[in-house]
Every structure is written in structure tokens, then in C-alpha cells.
């Protein structure tokens, strides 16, 4: 019944208007794994790191039910490194440095015991790497979700579309939905993208929430307005992790349950941005998730019948 | 039990990526009156027009329950005129022309029979004009709402704050909330603004929906994702009109009912943007409002209890 998570495990240097964090733990795989571990504890992480990555970080994840058979460690190489600076509005950022290091020559090789899983989260990675994981599975998972970003649309659109064709759920942001579809209206963009393969499209709008598109309808989950956002890094990955962790826990892919998963993804993402790196994600517990879920439900709560 | 509506009645020339509309009917008062007339039919419009304004437009409003005792007509002058061009994303616009005309020397003089009303909507206008209407009322209305814009914050912040102090509901957009409060976080901005006088703050976020802040809590209503937005002009005024029209109809200012009013405001605004000017607002009927309200409720519908 495992949840396989593909995603980078890396170091990040992050500058925001509220401070700077130097070479902290980051990467889509890290955020997805931490976020999903709050809902599910049979997670297999697929990624690659160098000899410089701290063992205690891996141990902390293992203690949460994240197994490392699929994690390749290259002792003599360095882990992926990204540095970025957020603008004042936190909605946009500049990349200051990207050192691929171990990612330069990475093709995942899945050990036999993780080739059959029920849930697969293809975190943001080169489309070729995402495809390679899909291709090595000996059984089609019950649910396959993928995240990606505009970078891959710019340089590898055909490869990307080949992966999108094979997934059930695609999560991208609003600008990426426009780029991928060539449509400005998100309704039209969703129509085009749902023709490309996925049965579900989630459009992430950052501080403006997220939209789920499916043939049964649309659903909107707001972002919780917060007193302070310290660091948006990993918010989308945390969202995907909470979403998939909840779906793996409940094993229910009805539209109604997908909507609940969208709320839990938003809950986890709302915590993620409140500290630098994945620190807050590590610190929260079941009580914290319950409390914030109630805040979301209150924010969305409406009791009305249509005018007679 | 009347609803008094202050707002400009004007001509607009509008360019959007989808076309151009030359000297069509516009103005905050026009949009508010049309929008609220779908919910309530004892509306008093307070404004000023020139001799160039078409009588049939006034007749159409009168037929919807909007009375014109408070409308000053200056036969020898020209109505207010605004021209603007929207950018591709429809979220920002350039003003191409502003001809104040009749507005240059306007101080409303309320006839005696409209000095006692139950509901007051101070649409976007110079703060001094808004204040003058408030001051002429012989009885405090049950509910006073006001709209304003960054223009008045730039040139008349003190006057503006003097009006804000006296209203129950303030509707502004997210950038204006930041400017007015000096806080970037909308949560902090709302705290500051609710200290200025209003008991309710509505932050309008255009295509991203709207937030209601009150001491009892926060509520979020999404905007309905649309296939096509032709012209955002008047969306905020339509929102305010639907909001106040529904509150006047129900005469219930509980937080629960304010939330419903927020949904109806959004319903009307979602129609407004689908055609140039107030055309769509004029064309819709009760059936259309019911149908779209159901679309909103579906978009927001979630059934979940928090994880035990």
C-alpha cells in the first residue's frame, strides 16, 4: 500500500524580506515526504544525494515512516543546491544559483521491493526522470500525481507532455496552467489540460488558494490569510504531500474525498510558509493539523439556501 | 426602509483585449443601483449628471425601483467621463482620460424625503461628498457601507479616514487595504482598519475572490472561474450593490447573513464582467441569480469533519 515519492533532496539558500537562511535542508522530495508523513507512514523516497547530506535528516524522515531504499547516495559527490531571493510581495523570486551536482547524471533505479506501490507522487523533477520512475513500476499505481514547473515547459515541453499523459492528477500554478494550455482563462486552460491525460487538475494560486478541476465539477480552497509569511519555499510541495498523504490514508479517490485532500494539502502548506525551510513542517503534530483544519473550515463555512 | 445609494453616474470609454466600448453608460452609482435592484426595490440614487445623459437610462432604473429625487440634473453641463484601457491580464488598467465636468463643483443636497433611510451605500466618490451625505441624514441608518479607492488615499487620506470612522462596512481591494493600513499581511491590515471605525471590512481581490473580516471571524468567498472576462469595469460596485441589496432585503446584519450577502455580491459581480458596461447586469433575472448562486455554492461545497 506504499506511497512512492520522487523529488529532489537538496540544500537551499533562501533570502526573503524577513531574513536569510544559509544552506538549509530543502528539495521537493523533502517537503513532500515531511508533509505526507503527517497522514501516512508507509512512504518510499526516491532521490539522489551526495556525501554532504546530513544523516540525521534522513534518520528524522525514517522515524516518520519514510524508507530510504530508493535513495541513492553518492559519497564522492555533492547534493543539489539552489539559492533564491524572494521579492517583497513573496509571490515572485529570482534564482541566484543552481548547482545540479548529483542531479547532472541521475536516472533513478528502483529496487525491486518498491516497484509495486499503490500511490505515486512524482514531485518536481526533469520529466525524463519522472517518466523513468513510471516506466519501472511493475503495476500501475491506483493513483499517480505529478508536480512540475514552468522551467520544464520552457526547455522540455514534449517530454513533459509525455509524462502528463500518464498521470491522474497534475498540480501546477496558474501561470503554468496558462503556459501549458495556451489559454488565459483558467476554465479554458483546465479543459485543454484535462484533454492531455489527467482526470484531475489542481491549479495552485499561492496566497489565493487552489482550484480543483474534474469532470464532476470545480472546487476552490482558499489559502488561510496569515499574520506573517516567512518563506514560501516548498509550499507547493507541502501541498502535494498533504494531498497525497491524505489520499493514501483514506484510499478514496471520489471527488468528495479529493476535495478534502485539497483542504489538508492547504493546511500543511499554510504551516510550511510560517518558518524557513521545512522546520515548521517537522514541528507540527496531529493536534496542530486538526486546529488549522478547523480554521480552514470556518473560513469556508457558509450556510445558505438559494432565494426561493 | 429605503436604501440610499451615492455614486457617480457617468460615461465610460473602455478598451480591453476583447474590444472597445465608446461612451457607454457607467459610474459607481449606476452599477450599485442596477446590482442592488435585483434584491431590493426601494432605492434612492444620489448623484449628479449633465444634460447629455440619456433619459431612457434613468427610466430603466426607475422601472427597477430606483427613485431619482436625489439625482441632480444640470442641463447645461456635461456628465462625468472616464476612459481607460485594461492590460492583458485584466487586473490592471491605465486611465486614458478623466473629465470631471459636473463633478467639479458637486455637493449633494438631499431632499427632505430621503434624509431618513435604513441602509446607505456610499459608493466611490470624493470623501468630502461621502461625508456630506452622511451629515445630512437626520437619523443614523441601520447599516452604512462605503467603497473607496487608492486615488483618494493618495490625495485626501485625512478626509477619507474621517468618513471611514463613521461607517459599518468598508469595501476596498487588497492593495488599498495595504495602503490604508501600512501593513502587508491582510490579517494585520484588517486589524488596523477595524480599529479605524468599521465593524466589517471586505477586501476585494478581483479574480481571487473576497475576504470578510469581523471580530467574529473571517470568511472567504471565491470568484467564480469564468470562461471569459470581457470588462472588469464596475465589478467592485456591482459586488457592493448585490451585497447591500441583499442586506436591505433581509434586514439581518448577523455575521452569518453578512457571509450570504458576500456570496450574492460575488454572484452579481461575476455577471457584470461578462459583458461591456452594465449590460449583463441589466439582462439578468432572478433565475439567473439563482443558477449562479448554486454554482458558487457548489464551488465552495465541502463536507468534512476533522480527523479524530
Q: For A264-281, what is each residue's pLDDT tens digit?
A: 999 999 999 999 999 999
Contact flag A222-B217 (C-beta cutoff 8 Å) = no
Give yes or no for A293 touching B (CB within 8 A). Answer: yes
CA distance B88 to chain A (A): 9
Interchain contact, A227 vs B188, CB within 8 Å? yes
Write the CB contacts of B285 (distance below 8 Å, at least 6 apart in sequence): none
- Contact A290/B297, CB-based, under 8 Å? no
Say yes or no to pLDDT of A91 above 80.
no
SS3 for B175-213, per residue?
HHHHHHHCCCCHHHHHHHHHCCCCCEEEEECHHHCEEEE
Cα–Cα distance measured from residue A183 to residue A193, given in angstroms and rounded to the nearest whole number? 10
Strands (E), chain B: 3-6, 10-16, 19-26, 43-50, 66-67, 71-74, 80-86, 93-99, 119-122, 143-147, 169-173, 200-204, 210-214, 217-221
The tens-digit pLDDT sequence of chain B (308 residues) is: 899 999 999 999 999 998 999 999 999 999 999 999 999 999 999 999 999 999 999 999 999 999 999 999 999 999 999 999 999 878 789 999 999 999 999 999 999 999 999 999 999 999 999 999 999 999 999 999 999 999 999 999 999 999 999 999 999 999 999 999 999 999 999 999 999 999 999 999 999 999 999 998 999 999 999 999 999 999 999 999 999 999 999 999 999 999 999 999 999 999 999 999 999 999 999 999 999 999 999 999 999 987 54
Residues A15 and A224: beta-carbon distance below 8 Å: no
Question: Within an 8 Å CB–CB cutoff, is residue A215 touching chain B?
Answer: no
Cβ contact A227–B187 (<8 Å): yes
pLDDT given for residue A1 in this prediction? 86
Q: What ipTM was reported for this prediction? A: 0.94
Q: Per the structure block, which three cell numbers stand in for B301? A: 461545497
Helix, strand or coil for residue B240?
A: helix
pLDDT tens for each residue of A27-52? 999 999 999 999 999 999 999 999 99
Report pLDDT for B92.
Answer: 85
B243 touches chain A (CB under 8 A): no
Using CB atoms, which residue from B205, B256, B302 is nearest to A259? B302
CB-hemisphere CA count at 13 Å for A62? Answer: 10
Q: B263 at the A interface (CB within 8 A)?
A: yes
Q: Which residues contact A80 (CB under 8 A, 6 or more apart)?
A: A8, A9, A10, A11, A27, A49, A99, A100, A101, A102, A103
Report pLDDT digits (tens) over A237-259.
999 999 999 999 999 999 999 99
Spatial neighbors of B296 by CB under 8 A, at least 6 apart, are B221, B222, B224, B263, B266, B267, B270
**Is the CB of B304 inside 8 Å of chain A's CB atoms?**
yes
Which residues in B lie closer than 8 A to residue A289 (C-beta atoms)? Answer: 307
The answer to whether B250 contacts chain A (CB < 8 Å) is no
The shortest CB-CB distance from B208 to any of A205, A217, A260 is to A205
Per-residue pLDDT at A57 exceeds 60 = yes
Test B289 with A307 for CB contact under 8 angstroms.
yes
Measure in Å the smallest separation between the Cα of B185 and chain A Cα atoms.
Answer: 6
CB contact under 8 Å between B304 and A297, yes or no, is yes
Measured between CA atoms, the residue of chain B closest to residue A205 is: B208
- Of all residues in chain A, the one with the smallest CA distance to B290 is A306
Closest Cβ–Cβ partner in A208, A229, A302 for B300:
A302
**Coil, strand or helix: which one is B85?**
strand
Q: Which of B174, B177, B208, B219 to mutate to test the interface with A (most CBs of A within 10 A)?
A: B208
Return d(Cα A127, Cα B272) in angstroms, integer: 42
Calculate the average pLDDT of chain A: 96
Amino acid at each position: 500500500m506504499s506511497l512512492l515519492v520522487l523529488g529532489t533532496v537538496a540544500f537551499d539558500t533562501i533570502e526573503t524580506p524577513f531574513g536569510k537562511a544559509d544552506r538549509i535542508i530543502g528539495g521537493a522530495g523533502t517537503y513532500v515526504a515531511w508533509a505526507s508523513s503527517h497522514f501516512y507512514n508507509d512512504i518510499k523516497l526516491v532521490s539522489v544525494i551526495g556525501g554532504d547530506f546530513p544523516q540525521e535528516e534522513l534518520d528524522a524522515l525514517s522515524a516518520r515512516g519514510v524508507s530510504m531504499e530508493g535513495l541513492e547516495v553518492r559519497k564522492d559527490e555533492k547534493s543539489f543546491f539552489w539559492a533564491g531571493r524572494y521579492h517583497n510581495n513573496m509571490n515572485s523570486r529570482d534564482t541566484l544559483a543552481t548547482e545540479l551536482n548529483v542531479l547532472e547524471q541521475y536516472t533513478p533505479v528502483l529496487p525491486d521491493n518498491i516497484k509495486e506501490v499503490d500511490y505515486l507522487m512524482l514531485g518536481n523533477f526533469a520529466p525524463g526522470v519522472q517518466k523513468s520512475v513510471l516506466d519501472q513500476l511493475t503495476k500501475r499505481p491506483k493513483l499517480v500525481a505529478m508536480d512540475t514547473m514552468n522551467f520544464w515547459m520552457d526547455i522540455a515541453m514534449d517530454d513533459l507532455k509525455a509524462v502528463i499523459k500518464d498521470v491522474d492528477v497534475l498540480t501546477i500554478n496558474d501561470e503554468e496552467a496558462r503556459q501549458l494550455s495556451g489559454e488565459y482563462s483558467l476554465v479554458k486552460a483546465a479543459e485543454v489540460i484535462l484533454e492531455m491525460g489527467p482526470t484531475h487538475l489542481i491549479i495552485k494560486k499561492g496566497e489565493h488558494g487552489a482550484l480543483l478541476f474534474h469532470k464532476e465539477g470545480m472546487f476552490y480552497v482558499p489559502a488561510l490569510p496569515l499574520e506573517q509569511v516567512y518563506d514560501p519555499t516548498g509550499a507547493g510541495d507541502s501541498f502535494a504531500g498533504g494531498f497525497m498523504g491524505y489520499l493514501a490514508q483514506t484510499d478514496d479517490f471520489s471527488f468528495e474525498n479529493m476535495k478534502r485532500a485539497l483542504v489538508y494539502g492547504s493546511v500543511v502548506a499554510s504551516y510550511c510558509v510560517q518558518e524557513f525551510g521545512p522546520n515548521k513542517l517537522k514541528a507540527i503534530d496531529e493536534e496542530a493539523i486538526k486546529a488549522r483544519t478547523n480554521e480552514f473550515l470556518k473560513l469556508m463555512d457558509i450556510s445558505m439556501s438559494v432565494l426561493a
